[in-house]
Amino acid sequence: MGDLAMALAKNLDRAFPEVVEKMGGRLYWGLRRMSGDHQEAEDLTQEALIRAYRALSSYDRERIRALRVEPWLWTIALNLGRNHLRDRSRRPTFVTEAEGVLDFDPEPFDQAGWDRRLAELNKNQRTAVVLRHVVGLGVDEIAEAVGRPVGTVKADIHRGLAKLRDILEAES
């Protein structure tokens, strides 16, 4: 992470494709799980990365070097998505069909089912659970990304997981 910030500070144009390659997939799938919508996740991923590049172009080297790139990227993506997702949360959302990416999984993994379960969490819990367990960020990175205290984020994750357990239990 620190290495990437150093590389960006040294030569933004050369290093930026590495940000896209390393973090683009996690950004897309995290946003996808938060929204349940491929097109929206794709649009937000693209927009967030473009805005990140523009922001980096205007930062001086010191500022870039001090960045924790992935939480910073998530701050941009979540701010972009906020209005959009808030609007979406007010209406029924069609859940897209599962896609081929997990076809090889021995346990037939219903992505649509998980999208539906995650949609039942409140927004803070869903964001925290997805960032922690789908994207794989640390709790302190999530706190930085969402601009909330570490303790609150931990509680959101804890309650979100508990709720998912309840939902799964109710299903079986």
Partner 1 sequence: MTIESKLGKLTGDLPHGVSEGVALGTGLADGFDLYESALGNVVVTFNPRGVSSVDLASEGFAERFADRFERRLFRAEAPSQWRRFIPEALEAGRPGTVPVDLRSVTAFQADVLHETARIPKGEVRPYSWLARRIERPRAVRATGSALARNPIPLIIPCHRVVRSDGQIGRYSLGNAHNKVVLLEREGVDLEALKRPPNRIP
Q: Are 153 and 146 in contact (CB under 8 A)?
A: yes
Q: Which of 65, 80, 114, 119 binds partner 1 (CB under 8 A)?
A: 114
Phi-psi region of 60 (alpha: psi -120 to 50; beta: other; left: phi over 0): beta
One DSSP character per residue, the chain reads -HHHHHHHHH-HHHHHHHHHHHHHHHHHHHHHHHH--HHHHHHHHHHHHHHHHHHHHHS-HHHHHT--HHHHHHHHHHHHHHHHHHHHTTS--PPPPP-GGGTT-SS---HHHHHHHHHTS-HHHHHHHIIIIII---HHHHHHHHT--HHHHHHHHHHHHHHHHHHHHHH-
Q: Which stretch binds partner 1 (CB under 8 A): 3-11, 37-45, 77-85, 142-150?
A: 37-45
Q: Which stretch binds partner 1 (CB under 8 A): 14-22, 76-84, 89-97, 146-154?
A: 14-22
In the complex, what is the shortest distance from the CB of residue 42 to partner 1, in angstroms, rounded to a whole number? 6
Q: Which stretch binds partner 1 (CB under 8 A): 47-55, 72-80, 85-93, 138-146?
A: 47-55
* Residue 26 contacts partner 1 per CB under 8 A: yes
Q: Which stretch binds partner 1 (CB under 8 A): 58-66, 80-88, 97-105, 143-151?
A: 97-105
Contacts to partner 1 from residues 127-166, by CB under 8 A: 129-130, 133-136, 161, 164-165
In the complex, what is the shortest distance from the CB of residue 165 to partner 1, in angstroms, rounded to a whole number? 6
Contact residues toward partner 1 (CB under 8 A) are 13, 16-17, 20-21, 24-26, 28-30, 33, 38, 42, 45-46, 49-50, 53-54, 101-102, 105, 107, 109, 111, 114, 129-130, 133-136, 161, 164-165, 168
